[in-house]
């Protein structure tokens, strides 16, 4: 039995609305690196951000997540098959999958069991791609406030698995021979309300509010407003993305 630590179902709508989008160049690279474009599995799909991009490049996408609420918030597409199921026990057929992606979710999995599942479903030569992003930055006035919120105000309310992300997934030993991966970056042009929505969609924000009894964003809201200026102005937000690749031997 897989133990599912559900940190996001109650935040599914906000998560779908306020998460940044992955760069198209990432999916162009993965599609070119896969041995074929017949089937991609996006595991831990959440609200289907990566699945939607894969669907534009693969004939068929299976997008799975153990959270029914997250799947319900995903955008449907004719060639995406959304499934509510754990990463460690999928309904995919043996050696059926060209590309297996895990976007900002590997730290939640039972790693030995998931890697065994990856070995089962990937075809010979199939590619496992896992990535995470961390450390939002904005203008020189906004960045230190966001960093203070993340690293100080809500620091005690992050689940322990978050440390994997903070280390850029460097500590994971992938199950197949690793391949070099290019650097990518997430980029957005957001209003102040969108930045606050993003910070509010963090699981640690909810955990802090439940523990303390008030919204932790109240501690930085005025400072962010002063640093932002016109709240309707769109300002740049950036996140460095760490990608790791491993290919099943053919």
Give the model's pLDDT for residue 111: 94
Give the model's pLDDT for residue 1: 37
Give the model's pLDDT for residue 11: 47
Phi-psi region for residue 183, left (φ > 0), alpha (ψ -120 to 50) or beta?
beta
Please name the helix (run of DSSP H) or strand (run of DSSP E) that holds residue 54, with its range, or none.
Answer: helix 49-55
Distance, first Cα to last Cα, the chain: 31
Secondary structure E strands in the chain: 39-43, 60-65, 80-84, 97-103, 122-133, 178-179, 184-190, 235-247
Query: Mapping DSSP to helix (H, G, I), strand (E, B) and coil, where does residue 142 land?
Result: coil
Query: Rounded distance, CA 70 to CA 203, Å?
Result: 14
Q: Which ranges of 83-213 does DSSP label H, i.e. alpha helix?
A: 111-121, 143-148, 162-166, 192-200, 203-212
- Residue 21: CB partners within 8 Å, gap ≥ 6? 49, 186, 188
Q: Which two tokens stand for residue 184?
A: 């990518």
Per-residue pLDDT of the chain (250 residues; tens, 9 = 90+): 344 454 444 444 555 577 789 999 999 999 999 999 999 999 999 989 999 999 999 999 999 999 999 899 898 999 999 999 999 999 999 999 999 999 999 998 999 999 999 999 999 999 999 999 987 899 999 999 999 999 999 999 998 888 888 888 988 899 999 999 999 999 999 999 999 999 998 889 999 999 999 999 999 999 999 999 999 999 999 999 999 999 999 8
Query: Rounded distance, CA 242 to CA 102, Å?
Result: 12
C-beta of residue 121 within 8 angstroms of C-beta of residue 100 = yes
Predicted TM-score (pTM) above 0.95: no
Please name the helix (run of DSSP H) or strand (run of DSSP E) that holds residue 68, with its range, or none.
Answer: helix 68-72
Domain boundaries defined on the chain: 9-247
CATH 3.20.20.140 fits 9-247, yes or no: no
The pair phi, psi for residue 52, each rounded to 5°, is -65, -40
Nearest to 130 by CA among 237, 32, 247, 20: 247
């Amino acid at each position: 039995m897989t133990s599912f630590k559900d940190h996001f179902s109650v935040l599914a709508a906000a998560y779908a609305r306020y998460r940044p989008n992955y760069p198209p160049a990432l999916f162009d690279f993965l599609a070119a690196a896969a041995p074929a474009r017949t089937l991609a599995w996006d595991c831990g799909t959440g609200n289907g951000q990566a699945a939607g991009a894969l669907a534009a490049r693969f004939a068929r996408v299976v997008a799975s997540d153990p959270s029914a609420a997250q799947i319900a918030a995903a955008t449907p597409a004719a060639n995406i098959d959304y499934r509510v199921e754990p990463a460690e026990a999928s309904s995919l057929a043996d050696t059926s999958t060209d590309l297996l992606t895990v976007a900002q979710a590997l730290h939640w999995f039972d790693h030995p069991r998931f890697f065994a599942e990856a070995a089962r479903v990937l075809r010979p030569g199939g590619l496992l791609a896992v990535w995470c992003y961390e450390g939002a930055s904005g203008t020189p006035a906004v960045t230190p406030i966001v960093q203070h919120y993340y690293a100080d105000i809500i620091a005690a309310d992050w689940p322990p698995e978050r440390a994997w992300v903070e280390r850029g997934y460097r500590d994971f030993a992938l199950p197949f021979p690793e391949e070099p991966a290019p650097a990518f970056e997430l980029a957005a042009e957001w209003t102040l309300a969108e930045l606050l929505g993003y910070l509010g969609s963090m699981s640690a924000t909810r955990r802090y509010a439940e523990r303390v009894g008030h919204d932790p964003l109240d501690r930085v809201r005025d400072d962010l407003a002063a640093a932002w200026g016109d709240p309707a102005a769109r300002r740049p937000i950036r996140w460095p993305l760490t990608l790791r690749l491993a290919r099943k031997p053919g």
